[in-house]
Amino acid sequence: MNFDGEQKQRVSTIEDIIKKFIPPIEGYQKTVIEAMNYSLMAGGKRLRPMLMEETFRLFGGSNWAVLEPFLAAIEMIHTYSLVHDDLPAMDDDEYRRGRKTTHIVYGEAMAILAGDGLLNYAFETAVKAFKMIGSEQANEELADYKRVARAIDILSMKSGIYGMLGGQVVDVEEYNGYIDRKRLDFIYQLKTGALIEAAMMIGAILAGATDEELDTIEEIAGDVGLAFQIKDDILDVTSSAEVLGKPIHSDEKNEKTTYVTLMDVDNADDEVVRISERAIKAYEALPYKNEYLKILINKLITREY
Amino acid sequence: MNFDGEQKQRVSTIEDIIKKFIPPIEGYQKTVIEAMNYSLMAGGKRLRPMLMEETFRLFGGSNWAVLEPFLAAIEMIHTYSLVHDDLPAMDDDEYRRGRKTTHIVYGEAMAILAGDGLLNYAFETAVKAFKMIGSEQANEELADYKRVARAIDILSMKSGIYGMLGGQVVDVEEYNGYIDRKRLDFIYQLKTGALIEAAMMIGAILAGATDEELDTIEEIAGDVGLAFQIKDDILDVTSSAEVLGKPIHSDEKNEKTTYVTLMDVDNADDEVVRISERAIKAYEALPYKNEYLKILINKLITREY
């Protein structure tokens, strides 16, 4: 398998699905829809929907119509968090992935509303999955309803104060202050990990995974998120702006505590290896295989950009 | 019935229900939970949950445990919209109902996050209704699942870009500009009306109203919202700061187009009467009665504060 070619093609398929769920740019409120579209279509790895899709595939999921709204919804939630993180009151960033940030293009008020709009629309979109349930027998239909309800439960929990948003809150509060490893892990597990957990767990649930399998997936996803974030800390020190597509040494400039400041690059590297090996081991113990997912997880952790 | 005493007692009951769903103020992320709690417990008429509850009662709803999460959720959405509306980039308000606004107390970044947290938590809370479904027969259980799913669908739709948020977007964009009546109605119907529609429709759905009844409730609620908002325009000109509990002539100061600037106070008053009579007439045509709801609707429209 040519992984890079395959990945490119899958990103394109995911973007087509996301586009299907974007509201048409029309009506009196079209500016906010335009701003939502601008931020949602700004590129990126589409990592969360891709992990969701591959976990769905791992567990032999078949009703793709029920999955699709969630693929779009999780990317909307990820995108809203970026739009609000970039705001002047937060990180005050003018560029992201080489493009002007939403508040630079549309103004601060509209960027706040576009972020709100994306978060809200993520749930509007996820709820559409109920309409895609096609079972004809009441018992099966009920089982499908329960799965979709649980998927929305996980999506909302992992994005909120006990998930991504909770991590962001602690990150904002501690900016420029000293953070110990316990607190840093809390930030990473929530800010980065929680949405990756949601992605993989929703893929598993909608494919019919058992509760036990779901626990395993949550652990794997948590490790992937943590290793991914530590790798981010390392690349900020060891990579170059050209390769990374964004300024390096930004953590040092912002006086941020990272795994690199807590334990130096070599030890941080060892942590990445330790955590990712644990994730791969748990994955190997599952009775299902998805070679693409395994390579994807490995690439996330060993990536150079 | 002593309406005012009854209303006071019902507000208190609703606040007890909301409190049940507020997350405990603890953990690394407790500041945001504190800020969410601060804004959510700032008082107010609790109009939306009250309309939801009374509509549920009108249609003879019985499973209160399924309704309760929605009572809390809609107030969380209303509150998040106030927190974000008050932000410096939006209306830049320092006080609301005599208390300092969230961003004044907790800072701008935390206020953005508290608003996000409330919006997200509203959906986390609404999803809890699935767990309150108690039917034992698969067919009945499925019917209950479908009702809750539809209620979440309506909640999300009426709060987003095709509801409350859409109205807010147009309101922000047109600030200081000329607005014709069609556009003003759009703003009012969405910014104020949509959430009142959601409140009454969710009460109706969870009580088992038919599709036809639901359409009627949507129309009544739309009229109530519109009349309520026009009344707001009038009171801003005819009332006093003491009675209203907030500065008057704020619309004039902000050069806002309102029903009063479009058509003067007397004609705006006539509009309120015309729209509210239409709502009451539609209500009277329903084969159910809830005297408290009828008085409540009348009071909203004829209120002096």
Task: Please report the pLDDT score of residue B253 as a whole number.
Answer: 81
Please indicate if any CB of chain A lies within 8 Å of the CB of B29: yes
Give the pLDDT confidence of A45-54 residue by residue, as tens digits. 999 999 999 9
Task: Please report the pLDDT score of residue A175 as a whole number.
Answer: 60
Q: What is the mean pLDDT of residues B102-112?
A: 97
Residues from chain A contacting residue B36 (CB–CB below 8 Å): 161
Question: Model confidence at B177, in pLDDT bands (50, 70, 90)?
Answer: low
Task: Please report the pLDDT score of residue A177 as a whole number.
Answer: 65
Per the CB < 8 Å rule, is A165 touching B120?
yes
Give the pLDDT confidence of A116-161 residue by residue, as tens digits. 999 999 999 999 999 999 878 888 899 999 999 999 999 999 999 9
- Whether the pLDDT of residue A264 is over 80: the answer is yes
Task: Please report the pLDDT score of residue B254 as a whole number.
Answer: 79
Mean pLDDT of chain A: 93
- What is d(CA A105, CA A107) in angstroms, rounded to the nearest whole number? 6
A contact residues 188-217, partner B, Cβ 8 Å cutoff: 190
Please indicate if any CB of chain A lies within 8 Å of the CB of B293: no
Give the pLDDT confidence of A100-110 residue by residue, as tens digits. 999 999 999 99
> Å from B207 to nearest chain A CA?
20
Task: Please report the pLDDT score of residue B247 as a whole number.
Answer: 77
Give the pLDDT confidence of A14-60 residue by residue, as tens digits. 999 999 999 999 999 999 999 999 999 998 899 999 999 999 999 99
Please indicate if any CB of chain B lies within 8 Å of the CB of A145: yes
Domain that holds residue A251: 3-302
CATH of the domain at A134: 1.10.600.10
Q: Per the structure, how many domains does chain B have?
A: 1
Instruction: Evaluate if pTM is beyond 0.90.
Output: yes
Residues from chain B contacting residue A130 (CB–CB below 8 Å): 146, 149, 153
Task: Please report the pLDDT score of residue B88 as a whole number.
Answer: 96
Q: What is the mean pLDDT of residues A202-206?
A: 98
- Whether the pLDDT of residue B1 is over 80: the answer is no
Query: Out of A23-27, A298-302, B267-271, which region has the weakest mean confidence (pLDDT)?
Result: A298-302
- Whether the pLDDT of residue A1 is over 70: the answer is no
Query: Out of A83-87, A114-118, A242-246, which region has the weakest mean confidence (pLDDT)?
Result: A242-246
